[in-house]
Chains A and B, each alone.
Chain A
Amino acid sequence: MEALGVWNYWVVVLLMMIGLYTVIARDHLVKKLIGLGVFQVSVIMFYVSMGKVTGGTAPIIPDEVPAEGILYSNPLPHVLMLTAIVVGVATLAVGLALVVRIREAYGTAEEDELQRMNGAQS
């Protein structure tokens, strides 16, 4: 049962495998990007659950009550993930822009057809 106690990490592993499998197994480029997104989100979840301290509260120092003795969660991994989310969004944007251009140039966004057309060209 001890292994189930860290269920949040199991969620991370599950999401990561789903994402990676989607990237490898799906032919449509947009689906690949979705898989990539899930893959990145799993790492973000990993950092977020890493920073959570059991029983800890949001790391804001209160004005009135004495600030000693309050248990805070670690804010640093959460802040890092703001950057990682931005990176993920930027990657998704570039990826989708590329898919649009690929669709314009080839008339399809299925990987096997693209490979066939590239093979015929070279």
Chain B
Amino acid sequence: MSEHLSALIVVLPLLAAPVCLLLRHTAMVRAWTSIVAWACMIMAWTLLERVQTGGAISYSMGGWDPPLGIEYRLDALNAYLLVIVTTIAAVVFPSGTILTGTALPEGKRHLYFAALLLCLAGLLGISSTGDLFNVFVFVEITSLSSYTLISLGKDRRALTAAFSYLVMGTIGGTFLLLGIGFLYQVTGTLNMQDLALRLPELLESRTVLAGFAFLMVGGCIKLAVFPLHQWLPNAYTQAPPAVSAFIAATATKVSYYLLARVIFTIFGAAFVFDALHLHWLMLPMALAAMFAGSFAAVFQTDLKRLLAYSSIAQIGYMVLGLSMASEAGLTGGIVHLFNHALMKGGLFLAVASVVMRTGSSSVNAISGLGRKMPITMAALVVGGLSLIGVPGTAGFVSKWYLVVGALEHGWYSVAVLILLSSLIAVVYVWRLVEIAFFGEATHDVCEVPWNSWLPTWILIGGTLVFGLWTDVTVGGASSAARALLGGTP
């Protein structure tokens, strides 16, 4: 049983989704979804522990050995990512705000939970598989379920947001497929480890270069790296807030993993950075994302859109870590995956609580709520501080490693720019604080029930805990970074 864990963690939510259709009753489906998410989380932590003590786990799907069969391969990076995704799912799914802001009538709600589970299964699948075509299939499972989830927002604009995400996402997914096709054409294999063995002697081939380009562009569309981010703000704004919390905290992280896997495991840092000089493309994109995202966030009048633009800026920090291709830089990028998942998940859940009480996610809706909903507003403030990177919060830890990485490279101006862009975050976070605590109360509301604020505070509390106690997060991230750079994990 326990040797099948790396397959079970994907198969369980995949099989649990149709069960939702049989249960039908909303309360039962809710409990079932939460149980599945919790089970996945326990499996993920077990796997992480096992990977850290015993090294990478390889699992042959159906008993067919790689490279012929499909391999599920967990190393320090995947296991870390599984933990992020399942922990967020385990906190968000049982939340009392999970149904807030959905346009679903009673009697159709079980379908929503089925889509959530499918999305989880897809994300876990991308993270754990070692087969490139399998990656494409899981990318599409994730994308299709997130299109439906986003379209369930209350406002009719959710439909157009979901549609434009569908168009962009399908183009991105098809680019991935095309890139995979080019690589298969040259090497005759789809297994990542096998590709890594066969590619080094073929790197001169134009087919390989074209394949690499398609994989990169496809991955960047899914990750919403700055010039390709257009779908993200609308999608996060119009989706039900709990869906935004789940997708913002997990989907971009998994796309980031995919890029890192393609660059470091399949092609190798030497080829990508020494021969192609990709960092001279990624670095400006990351810096542009950090500034453009933060600037745009300052001028938003909707809480969810504000957080979405801040997400674009945070993705910039992660890509910055990727472009450094050094242990400190990658550690910063990977630990920021975890930290950003905690804070963005927590912040979107706090917004979900606001929407639950006031029915609106506009910035003015929180006016004066500092006194009416102190627990939720405190979460919003702490999450915001973590976005800025105030010492003592998780955001500080990741920015610290990024700055260290920049200094190691001698990129002093980049280090300064990291700090400057954090200052812009001060502006938009302070604006929220001012409105929430010094504004005139316009809504006569009370605090949300405990099952709504507790999940928010588990994630926001996490940013405080992991801001001071960094053994697990930084330890896991640096062993993942070493595994990517080819050292012993």
Contacts and interface: CB of A to CB of B under 8 A. Distances in A.
Interface of A: 20, 23, 29, 32, 36, 39-40, 43, 46-47, 50, 77, 80, 83-84, 87, 90-91, 94-95, 98-99, 101-102, 105-106, 114, 118, 121-122
Given A46-B178, A84-B177, A39 B160 contact: no
Contact of A118 (B151, B157, B171, B178): B157
A41 to B, nearest CB: 10
B400 interface: no
B174 interface: yes
Contacts of B16: none
A122 B305 CA distance: 12
B167 A106 contact: no
Interface string B145-186: 001100100001101101100110011011001100100110
A105 B181 contact: no
Contacts of A36: 167, 170-171
B237 to A, nearest CB: 10
5 contacts: A23-B171, A39-B171, A87-B140, A95-B166, A98-B163
Contacts of A77: 181, 184
Contact of A47 (B144, B163, B181): B181
A80 B133 CA distance: 8
B427 interface: no
Contacts of B167: 23, 32, 36, 95
A106 B157 CA distance: 9
A91 B151 CA distance: 14
Q: Interface residues of A: mostly helix, strand, loop or mixed?
A: helix
B144 A94 contact: yes
Given A39-B170, A102-B163, 9 more contacts: A46-B181, A50-B181, A80-B133, A83-B133, A90-B144, A91-B166, A98-B163, A102-B156, A122-B157
Contacts of B160: 102, 114, 118
Contacts of A98: 147, 151, 159, 162-163, 166
Given A47-B181, A50-B185, A77-B184, A40 B174 contact: yes
A9 B148 CA distance: 34
A122 B147 CA distance: 22
A40 B167 CA distance: 12
B124 to A, nearest CB: 18
Nearest to A91: B170
Nearest to B151: A98
A87 B176 CA distance: 13
A43 B170 contact: no
Interface string B30-51: 0000000000000000000000
A40 to B, nearest CB: 6
Contacts of B156: 102, 105-106
Contacts of A23: 167, 171
A58 B166 CA distance: 36
B137 interface: yes
Nearest to B237: A122
A29 B163 CA distance: 9
Nearest to B155: A121
A98 B174 CA distance: 20
A94 B142 CA distance: 13
A21 B184 CA distance: 27
Given A43-B181, A114-B160, A91 B171 contact: no
What 3 A-B pairs come out closest when comparing CB atoms?
A105-B156, A87-B140, A102-B159
A29 B159 CA distance: 12
B347 to A, nearest CB: 22
Max chain B Cβ within 10 angstroms of own Cβ: one of A36, A99, A101: A101
A105 B238 CA distance: 15
Contacts of B181: 43, 46-47, 50, 77
Contacts of A43: 174, 177-178, 181
Contacts of B184: 50, 77
A83 B132 CA distance: 13
Nearest to B147: A94
B71 to A, nearest CB: 15
A93 to B, nearest CB: 9
Contacts of A40: 170, 174
Contacts of A118: 157, 160
A47 B140 CA distance: 18
Contacts of B140: 87, 90-91
A122 B300 CA distance: 11
Nearest to A101: B159
A106 B137 CA distance: 33
A94 B137 contact: no
B52 to A, nearest CB: 34
Contacts of B170: 36, 39-40, 91, 95
Contacts of A20: 171
Max chain A Cβ within 10 angstroms of own Cβ: one of B140, B151, B163, B184: B163
A27 to B, nearest CB: 13
Max chain A Cβ within 10 angstroms of own Cβ: one of B137, B151, B156, B173: B156
A29 B166 CA distance: 11
A43 B185 CA distance: 13
Nearest to A80: B133
A90 to B, nearest CB: 6
A121 B157 contact: yes
B137 to A, nearest CB: 6
Contacts of A32: 167
